[in-house]
Structure 1
Amino acid sequence: MRISKLYLLIALATSAPAFAADLALTPWAPSLNAEAMTFLNAKEHLTASPRDGLQLVDAKGAELARFNGNFTSLDTRAAGAQTLVASLDNDRQQAMLISLDASTKTFGKPLYLPTRDFAVNGLCLYRDSAANVFVFLVGEEGKGEQWLVGNGATLLNQPQRVRGLPLPPSAQFCQVDDAGNRLVVNEENVGWWAYPAHPEADVKRTPIAVFDTPKREAGALALVPGGVIGLDPKTAQLHLFQQTGERWTEQASLSLPGLKEPEQLSIHGQQVLVRDDDSGKLYQGKLNWQAKPVPVEPVIPEVAALRQSDPVARQGDAADDPAIWIHPEHPEKSRVLGTNKKQGLLAYDLDGKLMQELAVGRLNNVDVRPNFKLGTQTVDLAVASNRDHNSLSLFSIDRATGELREAGEVPTPLKAIYGICLFQPASGEVYAVANDKDGTFLQYRLSAPDGRVQGELVRQFKVDSQPEGCVADDQRQRLFIGEEDVGVWAVDARADQPATLTNVIKVGAQLHADVEGLALYQSDKRDYLVISSQGNDSYLVVDAEPPFASHGAFRVGLNAAAGIDGASETDGIEVTAVNLGGPWNKGMLVVQDGRKRMPEQAQNFKFVPWAEVTRTLNLP
């Protein structure tokens, strides 16, 4: 996931000097023994102490509630009348989550993360657009983890590890900008870094401030609208950083007079709390920096997968493209086929259990059509693009059992075969349309009159750059093809017609390159083209008929109750409107998941009830 470029801008007050001015500080709550503190609101604070545990205090530091224990590090998220609190329990050496009821001033039952195999230096909370709550652990030697711990105000009975991520080796502090899905972490002798926080995001980092001098140190940090305030313990200064495009720049700094070892920092609006580690005392001040809000990037709605397939048997970029075979008499016995481009063809039941695997080579894309004459037999047919032989690999599907068998191979002159889809007009013959990375498309008429498959080349055309995904509308005799960096085209699927390209949608605000999998949802009410917009980990739904009106995009997010992660970096997709029974009574969407998490495993496929897509996008 790309870091959002639309942020809240920081406007400094006109009186703010360009050099480092002093921040006026006064002692706050001298009787408190706190090693970490945070604002709950303008009048209440929460502190963490090895001696006094977690304390809810008023604006003057008077205790309102306490949870006994030995705690350091602290972060919170408001959730209605509840506040979710994360801290480190030093006695148990475990991260702990606990709810605080604002009205009754009482703490709930603690939830502990499992003991880790590394020392946890710090933690911070993150809440995504679907109200899922996560905690990031910042550990020694660059070890970091993200855990799912709740949704809304409710904590899970059992936390779930989402992913590990490499962090700076000397990190101690972190904060998350929920709206920007951004994790910010310090690296003591280097600076501050920003990481994508979303659980499906790629692991990458962007420097906020980097320095190479022993005179500076990156310590605690706080988030303000549109920026980051970092604390430098060596110079006893606060630094404000703002992002413009991909770069961060320092806007201003403030000295903290009288403090020898400032360590902890909390900011609420213009109010500042800072702790001097030398004296153990807390100080308060008021910033003269002002924030000017501007709109942020719109939130893409999410649906959740109800099932997921077993992981494929190869690591790395392996799973690619699914297809759905419909059982002709018992739809609930239908199967999902999937390619493993490092192994072969896979078949799963509707619960995602692996039923069959054929290790036939590097298959990339696959498609299915019924009623193919294989000699004297009538079978259903699966065809895949075989990158080992630049050929078409054909498989028969037993119409009673769903069992797959190799049925032969059709060679092609393509140098780098890539995508494939099938077309079956009302007359019943089956055509395979394969493409090459150079943009070439070849259309073959498939047959097997004597039981041996053969392919007759009946048409050839080309697009200007690399394609892959394609899908045929058999009813309208229309072929949709994806040109990865350009968009989606429609072309007449009939072999005796010219291959005139008609624009469906171009890469732009809605569709982000790469354009990957294409699939058709065809019902007696409405037909939709579904497109994998890989560049922003979403799926776009447009009408399957001109003018190809868009109905919006959605993402596949995690299903906390079922323990299924979301989907991202998606290559192939497939969808059917057939009632497959149970949750699939309005059809099923299958998407390849390029980043399998919770737990981290080899790639797999996610199964989504189409009814959820209809509800989420309010489809007619």
Structure 2
Amino acid sequence: MSNHTIKSAVGAALLTVLTTPAFAASSAIQHTPGATARAQELAALPDGGWLTLDKHGLHLLDAAGKERAALPMRAKQLDIRSHADGALAMVLDANTNRAQIIIADTKAGQLRPQAQLPAPSHGIESACLFRDAQQLDHLFLIAKDGQAEQWVLHGEQRQLVRKLALPPHVKHCRVDDASQTLLVSESGVGLWAYDADAEGVGSREPVALRAPYGKLEDGAGALAVLPGGGVALLDAKGKTLHLLRQRDGVWQAVGRQSAGGAKQLAVHLGAGAATGADAASAAGGRTGTAAAAAAAAAGTGSVATPARAQPLTQLLLPDEGAKSWQIRPLAWQAPKATATQAAPLPIIEPRAQTEPMARPGDAADDPAIWLHPTDRSASRVLGTNKKQGLLVYDLQGKQLQLLEVGRLNNVDLRQNVQIDQQRYDLAVATQRDDNTLVLFNIDANGDVNEAARFPTGLDKIYGICSYQPAAGGLEVFINDKDGTFLQYRIGRQDGRFASTLLRKFKVASQPEGCVADDRNARLYLGEEKRGVWVTSADAAKPDALAMALPVGPHLTADVEGMALYHGAKADYLVVSSQGSNSYVVLDARPPYKVRGGFRIGFNLAAGIDGTSETDGLDVTSANLGGAYAKGMLVVQDGYKRLPDGAQNFKYVAWEDVARALKLD
């Protein structure tokens, strides 16, 4: 779900009743099988059967309403997702105050409780399931005072992903998996939409509010997700049923009808429906994002997800008079996928991560990879801490050094640099306290120490990258937030390192990331809001800036870190597309063909979260052994999850990137 500016006019129009045939005629209302009559909550299963929850427990019914299995308990908050055996169900056990995960096996006619979550530290008022783009199942737990947690379910493991602050008195929640939107009903206020994706700071927007902010009567009650970004919502007293849909980032009312005092609500997709597993099968047995896209394109991610045909959407509401549940058909269809819609990006699991920063908040920024001259497995990763200094890690992510040299922003390095008949491994970084260029020496063991500082005259020093000309020596590009670039040559004078300014140029707006191609004397630089430029790295042969990749379909602002992968058959430029929490790979030569993009997701087996809002990154094609035999990509992670914590860096095997994007 994208962040959108909520204009003042939206609130007034939020629940305007439109003349639309969204609800079928009342004469078409039918009822569920009689065995569901006592159900307080229910859910339709893909085989035509039902899961019902009443004061005696959870019941598995067949299509005719005959009970196949029962699980005695006092529970509420029934929610389900598709499962290979039928359905994955969740209920809140009222006696233990714990969420209970249950497999509803429609083949064997069984209800199988799964491993419990740890006892919560606060009373749980509401809970709901979420299946993400990686096809991992999550659980949201919401307390009466608004404290909330997101857990990921992995086999028998239950891992805390993050904590959230949600409104108080939330009694109902549901997640639209396709749009990754968490919808919560705040009693007495209204319905809110949050970003369900754990990576990132999240967002919130109003969907429907009570007067005087909207047209809901007394606030929001139970809700159900409809295919294609829609919501069916009861008001707080269950008098009116509202239909809402998100169009162009704005929630709009599309119909309403009397609900007769209903307290619960469910959705059922009728003829033509298939389970999420069926949808994945129909898509060719794909997994991960491909399967998610197939399910998302077909529906909402709930159990009854259409795969081959648009089903009839039906709403289920309790009917006290008939002592059953009403089935109300809706003239509602999900928008059809278009040829212009981009395919989902593949998700790659990180292989390792560094220890977290010693300082909380926005601290980690930019990494650089140093290769051990004789033992590649002893190579190092340098990383900046914008609140503290420079850190050095091994390939397992263990912190080996901390140089408290002030607020470093970006770092880069070159090895085997010849200056005055001597060879050095040198790292360079921008220091934002005094706007200096800091030079570090790296010895043969990978130990780092500060070697020199050079004033730059810049007001807001920012990004940096190094360049090793064919003739030898070291040159450095630094930039300022105003768009200014300075190119320096690093040399020796009177037994000390010295710097000489070679040239100055400027881009129109704020830059940061840059990388130099030593082999071809080219400089790639990112202008955060506009794209990736390329120009000559040779100060003696400057040329005009040329756009290699503009912000657009492949690249979303801000344009951040970038690095070059020098392969045996091709060279690639890797760029952080920060605004889409993804990474773009393109050829590092004209016409700069885009080879694809990817995201970095959870590696639950290793206890590593995904990445988001990446600032800096670095990549090497060197054989580092093991998973990194074809090289390694290191990226900064803007939000450390699993659970929440200080920022760090993630290690990704280049082989995984190459496989996902079919690279040479």
Q: Structure 2 length as normaliser, TM-score?
A: 0.87
2-structure distance, mates of 1:524, 1:4: 44
Give the partner amino acid of 2:455.
Answer: P
Aligned length: 603
Judge conservation of contact 2:511–2:525 (CA < 8 Å) in 1. Answer: yes
- CA 1:163–1:31 in structure 2 vs 1: closer, same or farther (change >3 Å)? closer
Judge conservation of contact 2:420–2:492 (CA < 8 Å) in 1. Answer: yes
Task: Give the structure 2 partner of residue 9 of structure 1.
Answer: none
Task: Give the structure 1 partner of residue 400 of structure 2.
Answer: 355
Alignment of 1:238-253 (within 5 A): 238-253=241-256
1:526 deviates by: 1.0
Task: Give the structure 1 partner of residue 122 of structure 2.
Answer: 118
- Given candidates 204, 210, 218, the residue that maps to 1:216 is 218
Give the partner amino acid of 1:232.
Answer: D
1:501 deviates by: 0.6
What is the Cα-based RMSD across aligned positions, in Å? 2.4
Give the partner amino acid of 1:363.
Answer: L
- Given candidates 591, 604, 621, the residue that maps to 1:577 is 621
Task: Give the structure 2 partner of residue 307 of structure 1.
Answer: 352
Judge conservation of contact 1:3–1:196 (CA < 8 Å) in 2. Answer: no
Give the partner amino acid of 1:579.
Answer: N
1:27 deviates by: 7.4
Q: Give the fraction of aligned pairs with identical amino acids, expressed as a percent.
A: 46
2-structure distance, mates of 1:263, 1:508: 45
1-structure distance, mates of 2:253, 2:26: 14
Alignment of 1:123-522 (within 5 A): 123-150=127-154, 156-212=155-211, 215-226=217-228, 227-234=230-237, 236-256=239-259, 259-260=260-261, 262-269=262-269, 270-275=313-318, 281-295=323-337, 298-372=343-417, 378-399=423-444, 401-522=445-566
1-structure distance, mates of 2:356, 2:101: 31
1-structure distance, mates of 2:32, 2:473: 84
1:582-608 Cα deviation digits (max 9, x unpaired): 111010000000011111111100000
1:432-473 Cα deviation digits (max 9, x unpaired): 100001111000000134442210001111111110000000
**Which region of structure 1 is more displaced relative to structure 2, 235-244 or 357-366?**
235-244
Gapped runs of 5+ residues in structure 2?
6-16, 270-312
1:19 deviates by: 13
Matched, 1:106 2:105: no
Secondary structure in structure 2 of the residue aligned to 1:616: helix
1:70 deviates by: 2.3
Give the partner amino acid of 2:66.
Answer: A
- Given candidates 14, 21, 25, the residue that maps to 1:16 is 21
Judge conservation of contact 1:98–1:108 (CA < 8 Å) in 2. Answer: yes
1:268-312 Cα deviation digits (max 9, x unpaired): 133332236x89954212223221432266321110111000111
**Which region of structure 1 is more displaced relative to structure 2, 511-520 or 81-90?**
81-90
Q: Structure 1 length as normaliser, TM-score?
A: 0.93
2-structure distance, mates of 1:442, 1:18: 65
1:377 deviates by: 5.8
- CA 1:127–1:31 in structure 2 vs 1: closer, same or farther (change >3 Å)? closer
1:64 deviates by: 1.4
1:17 deviates by: 8.3
Secondary structure in structure 2 of the residue aligned to 1:614: helix
Give the partner amino acid of 1:568.
Answer: S
**Which region of structure 1 is more displaced relative to structure 2, 338-347 or 281-290?**
281-290
1:241-263 Cα deviation digits (max 9, x unpaired): 0111121111111112xx44x21
Judge conservation of contact 1:375–1:450 (CA < 8 Å) in 2. Answer: no
Judge conservation of contact 2:209–2:219 (CA < 8 Å) in 1. Answer: no
Task: Give the structure 2 partner of residue 57 of structure 1.
Answer: 61
Task: Give the structure 1 partner of residue 272 of structure 2.
Answer: none
1:210 deviates by: 1.3
**Which region of structure 1 is more displaced relative to structure 2, 460-469 or 81-90?**
81-90
1-structure distance, mates of 2:418, 2:662: 41
1:108 deviates by: 2.8
Gapped runs of 5+ residues in structure 1?
6-11, 151-155
2-structure distance, mates of 1:318, 1:544: 30
Secondary structure in structure 2 of the residue aligned to 1:554: strand
1-structure distance, mates of 2:591, 2:145: 55
- CA 1:209–1:128 in structure 2 vs 1: closer, same or farther (change >3 Å)? same
Judge conservation of contact 1:421–1:471 (CA < 8 Å) in 2. Answer: yes
1-structure distance, mates of 2:610, 2:258: 44
1-structure distance, mates of 2:139, 2:480: 44
Task: Give the structure 2 partner of residue 47 of structure 1.
Answer: 52
**Which region of structure 1 is more displaced relative to structure 2, 470-479 or 499-508?**
499-508
Task: Give the structure 1 partner of residue 100 of structure 2.
Answer: 96
Judge conservation of contact 1:138–1:173 (CA < 8 Å) in 2. Answer: no
1:331-367 Cα deviation digits (max 9, x unpaired): 1100000000111000000010000000000100000
Point out the structure with the larger strand share.
1
Give the partner amino acid of 1:273.
Answer: L
Secondary structure in structure 1 of the residue aligned to 2:265: strand
2-structure distance, mates of 1:15, 1:490: 53
1:376 deviates by: 8.0
